[in-house]
Homo-oligomer: A and B are copies of this chain.
Amino acid sequence: MNTTVQTVMKKLINTPERVVRDALEGIAVAHADLIRVHFDPDYIVRVDAPVQGKVGLVSGGGSGHEPMHGGFVGMGMLDAACPGAVFTSPVPDQMAAATKAVDGGAGVLHIVKNYTGDIMNFEMAAELADADGIQVASVVINDDVAVQDSLYTAGRRGVGATVLAEKITGAAAEARMPLAEVQRVCEKVNGWGRSMGMALTSCIVPAKGSPTFDLPADEMEIGIGIHGEPGRRREPLKPARDIVEELATPIFEDLPFNSGDQVLAFVNGMGGTPLIELYIVYKELARLCDQRGLRITRRLIGSYITSLEMAGTSITLLKLDDELTRLWDAPVHTPALRWGV
């Protein structure tokens, strides 16, 4: 059996050209208590921005990874997010306008996933902001252990740790840490977080209308990127326990994580994977962590950094200390993550 899965585009959209705009208009009316959406240039911003005396946090990237990043704007997390076209970097104008909108006098941190377009455009935006007298620092997230270089990336890709960095760094900023400290916390999350993902199916970019890649009906891709970039290898489908072991082992060995470490375990769905499967993945991951003596003291299970309707999962492990645990536990109130309020 080696037939390709025949995939047609079946989406709840109006037109391919309207996808990002319509979704932004949806998030704007749905969450007017938390965020405002600015159009042309497009960015999502906290309803109470700029917060005086607080470091502003800005992230962004291509659309198609929802709820990342727009769903993470709000108290205790991002001050603004810049959505590009699907799987396409936002432009410097968006990032510069968002940076200006959230500057409360304490500087702004850019959290940037390691993709060539994002890096370049956030750098240009930082220069524009600097010309406006805004102090900007930047952290590049590159937690994906799957591959060294990739289709859109020099070095490792930025994936699941981005979600954790936005939450934890958001708490640091909310606690009124100064810019250098907020940057240090974000770098710590990136330094201590490792991820790897896999896909059962491709996704379909609306403007293209056909699958990003072809995956035979009996195969999966291990080490996939969030835009469908090739991973480490294609393999026959396997039981979940074997898939999770293939994802977790390179993570365990990379940092390295050591017996006795406390970790946050993040099991992420790629957009088309139902929750029942994510709990099976979590069960297998918890067993492997247990075998290695890692104590999962915090967890996140759900679809938080996605690739449109791709079926698949990614695993992120973040080593925790008291500081990161405390910041993770701090209140957050965004469309996609909420606790403590």
Contacts and interface: CB of A to CB of B under 8 A. Distances in A.
Nearest to A265: B30
Given A12-B240, A66-B279, A280-B23, A30 B201 contact: no
A155 B8 CA distance: 35
A279 B22 CA distance: 8
A328 to B, nearest CB: 14
A291 interface: no
- Contact-residue bracket for chain A: 35 or more
A19 B275 contact: no
Contacts of A308: 274, 276
Given A240-B22, A276-B19, A29 B200 contact: no
A218 interface: yes
A22 B280 contact: yes
Interface stretch (A53-61, A114-122, A333-341): A333-341
A275 B218 CA distance: 27
Interface in A153-168: none
Interface in A163-214: 200-201
A303 B275 contact: yes
A142 interface: no
A253 interface: no
Interface string A1-21: 001011110111111000100
B301 A30 contact: yes
Given A8-B218, A13-B240, A26 B280 contact: yes
B273 A220 contact: no
A293 to B, nearest CB: 16
A90 to B, nearest CB: 15
Nearest to A242: B14
B12 A277 contact: yes
Contact of A273 (B64, B309, B312): B309
Contacts of A5: 6-8, 10
Nearest to A335: B301
Contacts of A24: 279
Interface string A279-296: 111110010000000000
A94 interface: no
The 9 A-B pairs with the shortest beta carbon distances in the complex, nearest first, are A26-B279, A26-B283, A12-B277, A271-B274, A10-B200, A8-B217, A66-B275, A6-B6, A23-B279
Given A12-B312, A272-B274, 14 more contacts: A11-B277, A12-B200, A12-B277, A13-B277, A14-B240, A14-B280, A15-B239, A22-B279, A26-B279, A26-B280, A26-B281, A66-B274, A71-B275, A339-B341
